[in-house]
Amino acid sequence: MEPIRFVFGVHFHQPVGNFDNVFEHHMREVYAPFLERLAERDFFPIVLHMSGPLLEWLDAHESRYLDRIGMLASDGLVEILTSGFYEPVLAALPRADRAEQIAWMSEAIRHRFGVDPHGLWLTERVWEPELAADLADAGVRYALVDDRHFLVSGIPRSALHAPWWTESDGRRLAVFAIDERLRYLIPFQPAAATAEYLRSLRAQGRELAVLVDDGEKFGGWPGTKEWVYDRGWLTEFLDTLEALRNAHEVRLSTLTHALAEVPSGGLVYLPTASYREMEGWSLPPDAARRLVHLEQDLGPARLDSPDGALVRGAHWRNFFVKYSESNRMHKKAQALSALCRARGNPSTARRAIGRAECNDAYWHGVFGGLYLPHLRDAIWRNLAIAERELRAGEPLAVERLDLDGDGIEELWVHSSRFSALVSPARGARIEEYTVFHQEINYANVLTRRREAYHELAPANHATEPSSGTPSIHDIEKSLRLSRLPPADQDDRAMFVDRVLPAGLALEDYAGAEYAPLSALGRTHFVTDIRAEPHEVELVCRLPSGEWGFEKRIRFTEAGALTVSYRWDPEAFFPDGVFAPEISIARALDLGYSPTPDVWAFPITTLSKSERGFDETVQGHSLTPRWPTLVGAARVEVTPVQP
């Protein structure tokens, strides 16, 4: 019997905007020791993907490490995969951007390692059918997806140990299925379990087993350094695989060799899909809870059967619906990408847009960095760099357009100094306020939301495996809260206007445990634009003219902002307090008239990560409070000048 071909691969990645000490830690604890151990034992060939942000950092700080990879690659011992350079979800990009990102990575691989990549690491394994044509056009011969992509199409698991072929618009692409069973065995179970599984596949006549997964789980994830190195898992794994190789039961293989040597499984058309956990994370909270309860009702045996693949969550793009902050970054990047191409695609702007397409800050699950302010800041910083170059020398202007794609018009106000987004349909709130020279979007504050894991009952606690170490997903299932964190009544933005009861306490307001007398921030305003040579004013009124309420938003060409209010004090909740909430990511110079009482508190979220529950300050809430009897109020915002 021929040995089974085992493709063993790792994906190394750090996102745009991550801290230097995180890069350094992973280099010291994961990337360097892992490669050293494999080289010591001649555990080759292997498959490697390294994301662009990590490649750039290593080239600047640890170039010898890259030199070593280059020598291994030139000797055919390491097969290097291409991808989108800045680790974008390719399906979420404009098609020209997809091609450009892949071209950047393929050229970097040729330049740095001296080899031509043939295969593609698909970020977060997010697949959409049209990708086949775009990848083929980019020179990609094959791509990696999850076995789930096949299983939800009704293809039996037994048929997945071979390359398959798909096409789009007449362009062909081979696809390999990453084995979920191997993802959970390596490195979380003793090496003997992997050996048993590979032997069982071989006994069934399977010719191929593929594992390409996050390299950070070999020492970077919680508990894995102790398990993989200190408690000897990696040594045991290498010993076990060496014995299998010596017995001619297993042969290490690259994907290129597997494509040439293993007969095709046939033609397949894969649906829009990602890995199983991601599809659950992308669901709205109520639907995510229902999915968990459904899976509990079906039980492990049914879920492990072919029926289990038909129980699915949503797709990755649903994060743009679930989180307005994610959607706003995504649509702003799309708009600037189109503007960049229309203006000759200048390289500085294009690279900044590419960095802003890095996937991590756009989604949330156990992984995903939407809840990490420094990763969102990095997206907005790169968007600011791009827009600053693209708008150099431009005068102040206002565009009416549906920038966020929800069918409702926004106002995009911009000059050579700043960019802002105002939503008349959502109370004329300011949803973006980016000052270019500071490279900061001051409105980049995450809303406190109810997540499904906040409310799941404390049933079916995961327990640590007796013979291994818990995976990230085992840890995820065991996390429970003793009490619910606050959830905001409105999405965070600048100048979300309300009338509050005069007797409301700050504690209840900060905890979102109150009922406003009027939620003007949810009202659709009729807006007129009054433009002057160096200023523009948005005059926002209620359609009914009720209360004589008027909100005026004035921008100067330099980016200074004034928001003025006027109302009829006799008709406008005479016993209430007018209170526009200003959520800001960084400190701003604010002036108020008349002088109000200002409530302030940090906006803190409680989210789930690979470490457990994280409490994170997302920004600060400032709420000036005026008795409604004053009839008028004003807030002046002055950005720091260069």
Q: Identify whether the C-beta of residue 211 lies closer than 8 Å to the C-beta of residue 182.
A: yes
Helix H or strand E segment including 328: helix 324-342
CA 86 – CA 54 distance, rounded (Å): 9
Token representation of residue 630: 């004053």
CA 225 – CA 230 distance, rounded (Å): 7
Helix (H, G, I), strand (E, B) or coil at 338: helix
Q: Identify whether the C-beta of residue 516 lies closer than 8 Å to the C-beta of residue 499.
A: yes
**Residue tagged active-site, from 79, 87, 97, 124:** 124
CA dihedral (133, 137, 138, 139) positive or negative: positive
CA dihedral (97, 100, 104, 106) positive or negative: positive
CA dihedral (281, 426, 391, 620) positive or negative: negative
**Residue tagged active-site, from 214, 242, 295, 535:** 214
Alpha helices in 391-489 (DSSP H): 452-455, 472-478
> What is the 8-class DSSP label of residue 216?
G
SS3 string of 149-201? HHHCCCCCHHHCCCCEEEEECCEEEEEEEECHHHHHHCCCCCHHHHHHHHHHH
Bridge pairing between strands 250-252 and 397-401: unpaired
Helix H or strand E segment including 40: helix 32-40
Residue 419 forms beta bridges with which residues? 414, 434
- Please give the full DSSP string across 488-553, using - where no structure is assigned: -SS---EEE--EEETT--HHHHHTT----SB-GGGSPPEEEEEE-SSEEEEEEE-TT-GGG-EEEE
> What is the 8-class DSSP label of residue 202?
H
Residue listed under structure tokens 């020398």: 393
* Selection from 431, 342, 423, 416 nearest residue 384 by Cα: 416
Instruction: Please confirm whether the linkage preceding 373 is cis (ω < 30° from 0).
Output: no
- Please give the full DSSP string across 234-247, using - where no structure is assigned: HHHHHHHHHHHHHT
Q: Identify whether the C-beta of residue 147 lies closer than 8 Å to the C-beta of residue 157.
A: yes
Active-site residue flag, 239: no
User: Which whole-number Å values give the CA distances from 419 to 380, 432, 530, 635, in the listed order?
Assistant: 11, 7, 17, 19
Helix (H, G, I), strand (E, B) or coil at 266: coil
Active-site residue flag, 214: yes
Say how many C-beta atoms besides its own lie within 10 A of residue 204's C-beta.
Answer: 10
Token representation of residue 292: 């968990």
| Positions marked catalytic | 124, 214
